[in-house]
Amino acid sequence: MTDGLFRVAAVQMVSAGDVAANLAQAATLLDAATADGARLVLLPEYFGIIGARATDKVAARERDGDGPQQSFLAAAARRHGIWVVGGSVPLACDDPVRVRSACLVYGPDGQRVARYDKIHLFAFAQGDESYDETRTIEPGSLPVAIELPCGRVGLSICYDLRFPELYRALGTPALILAPAAFTATTGAAHWHLLLRARAVENQCYVLAAAQGGLHPGERRTYGHSALVDPWGRIVAERDEEGPGVVVGDVDAARLASVRAQLPALAHRTLPRG
């Protein structure tokens, strides 16, 4: 970090069913983020594919360590000399009709340094709108956090935001990454609330990269990619649909100040009885 600042960026996309076209869109946005000084760039959940059917991502699954989405992430990290995080990549598992939804982190040398498999799988039904990720995704089970130049970084994906116990298992992160594809319905109701809550209770930054727009199959996502600080203040946000980049700094001094003024992390205790 320079002067305790570590610049990060969240990429907002409107992915569709063509993996190559989505990766081309992501490349352009990555270029913009790095031109603005970002040292870590987070891509949204399903950055590589949102098809008309949930099974489309199963058809586009990749073997762990081999495939166009993984190759893209590694090459982008190496080319720009930054940390690149693929919000989710559909990786093959033992179940032939499901995938693991994996958040993958690549270092400046292009080598993968972390994999987190989405633990909590989204389900929602309201009128004609219905989702059940358990049909096409096999859940993970292990929380993952890694040490980066800005400090400890916790990984999560979308629906995980509703489960604060996951983030408690990450230790004391400086930054939580939350790639997502919140629906327009649930996003309008809960997106900002959940991002700010996770930032406040963990006294850390939350970087959220979202899908934001209309996708095949008439699926609409909420967008509003953002960076939230440890006091719950939204310091940067894309407040409209469509592709774009949100850039801001993880400030070590701000982290230390919030934690010193309100030492809630030091006051954590487990109820007895």
- Catalytic positions are 45, 118, 158
CB within 8 Å of 28: residues ≥ 6 apart? none
Closest by CA to 86, choosing from 1, 29, 137, 159, is 29
**Between vectors from CA 229 to CA 227 and to CA 230, what angle results, nearest 5°?**
145
Cβ(267)–Cβ(243) below 8 Å: no
Residues 160, 241: Cα–Cα separation, whole Å:
22
Q: What are phi and psi of 200, to 5 degrees?
A: -70, -45
Q: What are phi and psi of 169, to 5 degrees?
A: -75, -5
**Between vectors from CA 159 to CA 93 and to CA 223, what angle results, nearest 5°?**
115
Residue labelled with tokens 């070590």:
252
In the chain, where does DSSP find H-type helix?
A: 19-35, 56-59, 68-80, 164-168, 184-202, 252-261
DSSP 117-182: E--S--EEEETTEEEEGGGTB-------EEEETTEEEEE--GGGGG-HHHHHTT-S-SEEE--B--
